[in-house]
Structure 1
Amino acid sequence: MDKQSAYQEIDANGGEAYARYFAAHRPDAPLTPFCHRYLFEKEEARAREERGFALKSLAQMESSSHVAQAAASASREAADAAHTSASAARRSAFWTMIAAIASALGVAVNAALNLGWLEWARHVVAR
């Protein structure tokens, strides 16, 4: 019996379950060594597949890690830009307040001139 015909017989009768049952119940049969070899090869194929899956999973996790690092870096840059913008807004608000105070003083002085209060104040002080 050759390997190919033995494997065909095993596959035709149920594959791994048949090979396991046959090897356990007929240890002296000529097919038994092929059953052991068949089971070994199937287990090796499963292990290779699992290793491939594990490597693929690891590569995906590594890729996700790089994406997360890029997102964190972008967040840091956005936070720095927001901080710079907030500082500029505070400076602008301060100078806007100074301009508003100066404008209010100008309006008050102009109103006083138009109402004649400054003439009256000069007259009171001159006495």
Structure 2
Amino acid sequence: MDKATAYKEITDNGGEPYARFFASQNPDHPLTPFCHRYLFEKDLDARIAAHDEQRGFALKSLAQMESSAHIAQAAASASRDAASAAQTSASSARRSAFWTMVAAIASALGVVVNAALNLGWLDWARHIVR
């Protein structure tokens, strides 16, 4: 009996369950070594498939981690840009506050001079200086 004929008989009769049963019931039959080999190869194929599945899962996990890292880098870059914009805005606000204070002081001096003119204090001061 050759391998192809034996495997065909095993497959036609139900595959793995048939091979297990036949090998346990007929240890001296010429088909029994082929049953053991058939079961070994099926087990090996299953292990390879499981390994490939685990490898695929590992690759998918790695891709997700890389994607998360890229997202984190983009978020950090956006945070740096926002901090830079906030710093620029704060600097502009400080300059604006300074010049607003200068304008307020000039306005207050204008109000004081105008009040002095209206109350006649400048005429009185000129009169005393003479």
Structure 1 length-normalised TM: 0.79
Give the Cα separation in 1 of the matches to 2:43 and 2:14: 13
Query: Which sections of structure 1, spanning at least 5 residues, go unmatched?
Result: none
Which deviations, in whole Å up to 9, do the C-alpha atoms of 1:84-118 show, x marking residues without a partner?
11101100110010000000000010011001111
Distance 1:7 1:81, change over 3 A: farther
2:92 to 65, 71, 88: 88
Structure 2 length-normalised TM: 0.78
Tell me what 2:80 maps to.
Answer: 76
2:7 to 2, 23, 44: 2
Q: How many positions carry a matched residue from both structures?
A: 119
Aligned Cα RMSD in Å?
Answer: 2.8
> In the alignment, is residue 35 of structure 1 matched against residue 39 of structure 2?
yes
Letter in 1 for 2:67: S
| CA displacement at 1:7 relative to structure 2 | 9.1
Give the Cα separation in 1 of the matches to 2:104 and 2:56: 71
Asked whether the equivalents of residues 22 and 32 of structure 1 are also in contact (C-alpha less than 8 Å), the reply is no
Give the Cα separation in 1 of the matches to 2:94 and 2:73: 31
Query: Which sections of structure 2, spanning at least 5 residues, go unmatched?
Result: 1-5
Instruction: List, as ranges, runs of 4+ consecutive aligned residues in structure 1 with deviation greater than 3 Å.
Output: none
| CA displacement at 1:122 relative to structure 2 | 2.2
Give the Cα separation in 1 of the matches to 2:22 and 2:69: 49
